[in-house]
């Protein structure tokens, strides 16, 4: 049985995933304005991925016979800092999302909702990948922080994301 409480929490997660997409799109625009097309590409691709995540929750709710309840999405920040500051924000944000997914999983466990547990396993694995990717970029940015040529090279590397 798909409980109303878990359905409500997943509807909230749709909003959270769409906010993430909006946040990353704002970061992409920031990097475009700063002539860093590689970082812009990475964050734009991340925005697309977050929209896909929202749709996974959307489809899951529909498939379970639930009702999707779309909620207002808060505007992302209007300005961002250096690439290092932005990717530290990315890492912090992904850790926050990981916590949200864990709470959903805990709800599914308490309710013995096995289909939700299976679906949420995918997100748990995804968040490990998200944190690893953001953490690696933070580490690399810290290494090249004051070296503009290295920053440009790293921008090109990040932009090779497929």
Residue 155: band (very low, low, confident or very high) from pLDDT cuts 50, 70, 90: confident
What pTM did the predictor assign? 0.89
Question: What is the three-state SS of the chain?
Answer: CCCHHHHHHHHHHHHHHHHHHHHHHHHHHHHHHCCCHHHHHHHHHHHHHHHHHHHHHHHHHHHCCCCCCCCCCCCCCCCCCCHHHHHHHHHHHHHHHHHHHHHHHHHHHHCCCHHHHHHHHHHHHHHHHHHHHHHHHHHHHHHHCCCHHHHHHHHHHHCCCC
**Rounded mean pLDDT, 28-37:** 96
Q: Work out the percent of the chain whose per-residue pLDDT is above 70.
A: 99
**Rounded mean pLDDT, 100-110:** 98
Which two structure tokens, joined as six digits, stand for 134?
């953001």
Instruction: Give tens-digit pLDDT for 61-90.
Output: 999 999 999 999 999 998 999 999 999 999
Largest CA distance in the chain: 57
Residue written as token pair 């999302």: 97
Which two structure tokens, joined as six digits, stand for 65?
């016979």
CATH domain 4-158 topology: Ferritin (1.20.1260)
pLDDT at 96 over 80: yes
pLDDT at 159 over 90: no
- Residue 14 contacts residue 56 (beta carbons within 8 Å): no
């Amino acid at each position: 049985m798909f409980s109303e409480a878990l359905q409500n929490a997943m509807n909230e997660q749709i909003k959270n995933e769409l906010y993430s997409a909006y946040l990353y799109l704002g970061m992409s625009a920031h990097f475009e304005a700063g002539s860093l097309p590689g970082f812009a590409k990475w964050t734009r691709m991340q925005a697309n991925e977050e929209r896909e995540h929202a749709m996974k929750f959307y489809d899951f709710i529909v498939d379970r016979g639930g009702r999707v309840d779309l909620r207002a999405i808060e505007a992302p920040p209007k300005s961002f800092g250096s690439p290092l500051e932005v990717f530290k924000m990315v890492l912090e944000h992904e850790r926050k999302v990981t916590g949200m997914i864990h709470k959903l999983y805990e709800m599914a466990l308490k309710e013995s909702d096995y289909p939700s547990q299976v679906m949420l396993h995918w997100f748990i694995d995804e968040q490990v990948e998200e944190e690893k990717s953001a953490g690696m970029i933070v580490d690399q940015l810290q290494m090249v922080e004051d070296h503009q040529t290295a920053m440009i090279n790293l921008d090109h590397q990040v932009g090779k994301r497929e």
